[in-house]
Structure 1
Amino acid sequence: MPRPVLTLLALLIFCCTNKYDLNDDDIKNLNKIIDSMYLLDQGNRTRLYEIDSLYDVAPQTFMFVKNERILTERLGEKYVSYKNDIEQLMQEIQLVDHSNTQKLIDLTKTYGFPSNERLGVYKAKAYMIFVHAPREFFPEVSELISKEFNEGRINEYKMEYIFWHIKGREGFPPTSGENGKAIWRDLN
């Protein structure tokens, strides 16, 4: 084979393979990407509280169903505006969740799961992206996270927290125990 073809082939193989051993540049770039994804994710969710506060509605996350009848009685004619603001923001949240999930899947396939331990940061952010993954990604995220757990790139707590979301968010999510173990609360 001619030398340029071999060089091109080597570059393609290098660029298209998984890069699970992170160097300093990988870590720096991944931290920037994860931080920006997390800021978008949490920023929109914080705006839900701001809208509630603006309309003097008791702060609640979107996980809880707000009673439309009670809100209509309480807000009167402002209810339509409140509902429009919330619905518009929920559409933005859904777009960000979709985009963030796809990006994190791609990053994980390339670099392995970007846990805070692997990125050398105190606060774990990446797993929260998967905790907001849209339903259409559940099979792929589930398979990917199981693989990453078996390879030691995500701890049990973060894996179980993601699975809690994928399995329908029933009961309380796990809490983090010693060495990243998942601790489940007994509801009895």
Structure 2
Amino acid sequence: MKKIILLILVLASCKTGEKLNNSELCGVLSNLHLQDQFYRGMQELEDPFFMVLDSLMDVNNLSRSEYAKLSEKEQLAFGKIARKIADTKPKISKVEEDSLMVLQKELDYKTTEKLLEIVKKYGFPDTEKLKCENYAAPFLIFGHAPKKYWKEIDKVIEKEKLANRIGEGDYKYIKWHIGGRKDNEIDQIQIQVN
């Protein structure tokens, strides 16, 4: 059933050749986000840090923009709490994880291609400026992009950075991913992402 709903969402979000209005673009971005998290969310394969951080912001009545305006020390405090809670997540078996990730990687190819198309046509999406009602995090899609796309993503986000259409946190997170996730700066990057 979940696969049928996803297919309907994907087909509904495809409007070939025409320029999308803000509401339609928000719908596509939201659907891409759902696809990006589809199998990851089924068994919480990914680190739940952002979900916990979002919950902490909600509990403290902070919007994303208000959170982004907090001092680095305050953001770090939220990040430490979110990390502590996220680390309590139960683990699934390696076989289950591997099976679900094979399916998720197929979706990652599609979502990356679609987001590249959107960024080239509209610039890096700012869901707050677009006034998206449903949650969408375009940086996560590029943050899960297969290696095949890394060079293309790098060119695109460099162009977007020069045009001031991508936030610093989103930019750093994507660069960390396409750089092979080698350095240990992710905890600092995670709490700066808007």
Bin for the TM-score computed over the shorter chain: 0.5 to 0.7
Change over 3 Å in CA distance of 1:132–1:110 after alignment to 2: same
Cα deviation code 1:17-45 (max 9, x no counterpart): xx7xxxxx621111000101111211311
Counterpart for residue 44 of structure 1: 39
1:59 aligned onto 2:90: yes
For these two proteins, the number of residue pairs brought into alignment is 130
Match of 2:192 among 164, 176, 187: 176
Q: Which residue of 2 aligns with 1:29?
A: 24
Gaps of 5+ in 2: 1-16, 46-88
**TM-score normalised over the length of structure 1:** 0.61
Q: Distance in 1 between matches of 2:147 and 2:174?
A: 12
Measure, in 2, the Cα distance between the counterparts of 1:83 and 1:165.
22
Q: Deviations over 1:112-171 (max 9, x none)?
A: 111223322485511111000100100000110010111111111110110011112221
What amino acid is the match of 1:43? Answer: F
C-alpha spacing 1:119/1:60, structure 2 compared with 1 (3 Å): farther
- For residues 42-87 of structure 1, the C-alpha deviation after alignment (integer angstroms, 9 at most, x for no partner) is 131122338xxxxxxx6359xxxxxxxxxxxxxxxxxxxx554333
- The percentage of counterpart residues that share the same residue type is 32
Q: Secondary structure at the match of 1:49?
A: coil
* Aligned twin of 1:157: 169
Taking structure 2 as the reference length, the TM-score comes to 0.59
Q: Quick one: which amino acid aligns to residue 157 of structure 2? A: I
Query: Whole-Å Cα distance in 2 between the matches of residues 116 and 60 of structure 1?
Result: 32
Distance, in Å, in 1 between the alignment partners of 2:101 and 2:90 is: 15
For 1:37 and 1:156, how far apart are their aligned partners in 2?
A: 21
Alignment of 1:139-150 (within 5 A): 139-150=151-162
Residue matched to 2:96: 85
- 1-structure distance, mates of 2:128, 2:44: 31
Which of 112, 117, 132 is matched with 2:128 structurally?
A: 117
Q: Distance in 1 between matches of 2:136 and 2:157?
A: 15
> Are the counterparts in 1 of residues 142 and 153 from structure 2 also a CA contact under 8 Å?
yes
**Helix, strand or coil at the partner of 2:129:** helix
- Decide which structure has the larger Cα Rg and report it: 1
Q: Note the alpha carbon deviations across 1:68-107, whole angstroms, 9 max, x for none.
A: xxxxxxxxxxxxxx55433321111101111000000001
The residue aligned with 1:71 is none
Match of 1:147, SS?
helix
- Secondary structure of the 1:152 match is coil
Say which structure, 1 or 2, has more relative contact order (CA 8 Å, 6+ apart). 2
2:39–2:100 CA contact under 8 A, matched in 1: yes
Change (3 A) 1:151 1:89: same
Alpha-carbon distance between aligned partners in 2 of 1:146 and 1:124, rounded to the nearest angstrom: 21
Q: What CA distance in whole angstroms lies between the structure 1 residues aligned with 2:44 and 2:155?
A: 33
